[in-house]
Structure 1
Amino acid sequence: MSRIQARFEALAAEGRAGFVSFVMAGDPDYDASLALIKALPGAGVDILEIGMPFTDPMADGPTIQAAGIRALKGGQTLVKTLEMVRALRVENAETPVVLMGYYNPIFSYGAARFLEDAKAAGVDGLIVVDLPPEEDAELCLPARAAGLDFIRLATPTTDEKRLPKVAANTSGFIYYVSIAGVTGAAVPKPAEVRAAVKRLREGTGLPVAVGFGVRTPETAAALAKHADAVIVGSAIVKAIEDNLTLKGTPRAGFLKKVTAVAAALAEAARKARAA
């Protein structure tokens, strides 16, 4: 059983939704980013989603784009991102880790080499937003063969004809993009999310994690009543940005302040079904 599957089974047994946090690897620098990744599980994060910085992040809004630029300027590479996962695993063998990004850096690294190194580092799953199901032979099927979950995105426009293709080789969970547009662009509507989650569960048999537009504890709680997990990226990345100096270095109390934002969101999601 993969760490991702085990985590969702544990969440179901607890009767609550999970909380997935997104941060960009290397933002604002390697050391601060690694310290944050190590601290987030203690703040209530159930699954860590770690971004692989890329120069052309088409699905990301301004906040996450800026995080990627900060990371790249600081010298973050895919090699260093895998090093961060290895460093995390020295202290934490339980929290699932999903790498999210675009195919170009993986292609440049070498897909076969990347999958081998990612598995060895302790990565559990991949989200590669610009590889559709028609390209499954490129990375999805090799990833599955290597023992990595390949997590696919579904959107409000994923209809009944498209859904079987999306679900065919997906594992771990379905990432439901709750709004049209880029990350952080709007606020999801809980009633629409509820219907979509029901349809996706029935159509795939997989847990459904809902992301995009979740910026407040109130929204996290509203979605956690229906989803198997809630994903938050821009709100946490914005907290990182807000706690940097004009030179881009972490301010005093950086780690405490950013994890406090994540903890408030995680607590809201955790308690939603008990309310």
Structure 2
Amino acid sequence: MSRIAKRFDALKKEGRSAFVTFVTAGDPDLKTSQELFAGLPEAGADILEIGMPFSDPMADGPAIQLGSQRALANGMTLKGVLALVADFRKTDNETPIVLMGYFNPIYSFGVDKFVVEAKEAGVDGFIIVDLPPEEEREFAIPAKDAGLDFIYLTTPTADDARLATIASKASGFIYYVSITGVTGTASAVASDVEAAVKRIKSHTDLPVAIGFGINTPDQAKVMAGLSDAAVVGSAIVKKIADNLDENATAKDGLVEDVLSYVNELARGVRAASA
């Protein structure tokens, strides 16, 4: 059983949803990124979604775009992302790690080489935004053949035929994008999300995670109560940005402030099962 499956299974037995955090690798710098990743599980993160910085992150809003730019400006590469994962695995071999990003850097790196090195580093799965199920041979199939999960996104505009296709190809969990548009720009309506999750679950036994538009502990509580996982990304990345000086350099206390905020969100997720 994969780390992702084990984590969802354990949380189901606890009667609660997972809290998934997103932070871009190398944002705002390598050392700070290492410290953030190391502290996220203790702060309450159940699954780490790690962004692979890319120069044209089309599904991401301004906050994550800026985070990618900061990471790239500080020299972060795919090799560097995998090194961060390997460093994390020296002290934590249980927390699932999902890499999120776009296919172009992976293609340039070499698909087969990347799959091998990602598995060796301790990666558990991928969310590749610009690879739909129709393109599964490009990367999803090689990843799954290596025992790594490939998580697909689905949106409010997906009909039942599309959901059936996604459900038949996905592994690990299904990521429901709760708003139309890019990350960090709006908040979802709970009644709409509840109906969407029920519809997705009619097509699959995989866990369903809700992301895009969760910014507060109260929103995290609501969305966790409607699903198997709540994902928070832009709000955490904004908290990083709030702790940078005019040169985009980390201020003293950045890690502590971000992890404190993550803990508040985690308490919101856990309150959903209270």
Task: Give your verdict on TM over 0.5.
Answer: yes
The reply to whether residue 183 of structure 1 matches residue 183 of structure 2 is yes
Does the alignment pair 1:267 with 2:267? yes
Q: Give the superposition deviation at 1:271.
A: 1.3
Deviations 1:190-234 (A, max 9, x none): 111111111112212110000000001111011111110000001
CA contact (8 A) 1:141 1:169 kept: no
For 1:227 and 1:155, the matched residues in 2 are separated by 15
Say yes or no: does 1:36 pair with 2:36.
Answer: yes
Q: Which residue identity does 1:181 align to in structure 2?
A: G
Identity of matched residues, %: 55
Offset at residue 161 of structure 1 (A): 1.2
Moved over 4 A (4+): none
Q: What is the distance in 2 between the residues matched to 1:43 and 1:158?
A: 34
- SS state at 2:175 partner: strand
Residue 273 of structure 1: how far off its partner (Å): 2.3
Computed over aligned residues only, the root mean square deviation of the Cα atoms, in angstroms, reads: 0.6
CA distance in 1, matches of 2:227, 2:168: 21
User: For 2:166, what is the secondary structure of its paired residue?
Assistant: helix
Residue identity matched to 2:236:
I
**Residue aligning to 1:17:** 17
What SS class does the counterpart of residue 119 from structure 1 fall into?
Answer: helix
The within-5 A match list for 1:193-208 is 193-208=193-208
Q: How many residues align?
A: 274
Letter of the aligned partner of 2:78 in structure 1?
A: L
1:83 aligns with 2:83: yes
| Aligned residues of 1:119 and 1:148 also touching (Cα < 8 A) | yes
Aligned to 1:45: 45
Q: Offset of 1:168 from its aligned partner?
A: 1.8
How far apart, CA to CA, are the structure 2 residues paired with 1:139 and 1:204?
22
Deviations 1:51-85 (A, max 9, x none): 00000100000000000000000000000000000
What residue in structure 1 maps to residue 216 of structure 2?
216
Aligned to 1:245: 245
**How big is each residue's C-alpha offset from its partner over 1:125-183, in whole Å with a ceiling of 9 and x where there is no partner?**
00000001111111111110001000000100111111121122210000000000000
Q: Distance in 1 between matches of 2:19 and 2:70?
A: 25
The reply to whether residue 64 of structure 1 matches residue 64 of structure 2 is yes
Q: Is the 8 A contact 1:60 1:182 kept in 2?
A: yes
- The 2-side partners of 1:165 and 1:223 are apart by 24
Deviations 1:82-119 (Å, cap 9, x if unpaired)?
00000000000000000000000000000000000000
Query: Does residue 133 in structure 1 map to residue 139 in structure 2?
Result: no
Q: Give the residue type in structure 2 aligned to 1:19.
A: F
Distance 1:30 1:105 in 2: 19
**1:112-123 map, 5 Å:** 112-123=112-123
TM-score relative to the length of structure 1: 0.99
TM, length-normalised to structure 2: 0.99
Q: 1: CA distance between counterparts of 2:62 and 2:224?
A: 25
**Which residue of the partner structure matches residue 258 of structure 1?**
258
State the Cα deviation string for residues 253-273 of structure 1 (Å, max 9, x = none). Answer: 111100011110011001112
SS of aligned partner of 2:99: strand
For 1:197 and 1:23, the matched residues in 2 are separated by 25
Letter in 2 for 1:162: R
Give the aligned partner of residue 152 of structure 2. 152
Which sections of structure 1, spanning at least 5 residues, go unmatched?
A: none
**Map of 1:228 onto structure 2:** 228
Q: Any gaps of 5 or more consecutive residues in structure 2?
A: none
In structure 2, how many angstroms separate the alpha carbons of the residues matched to 1:64 and 1:34?
A: 18
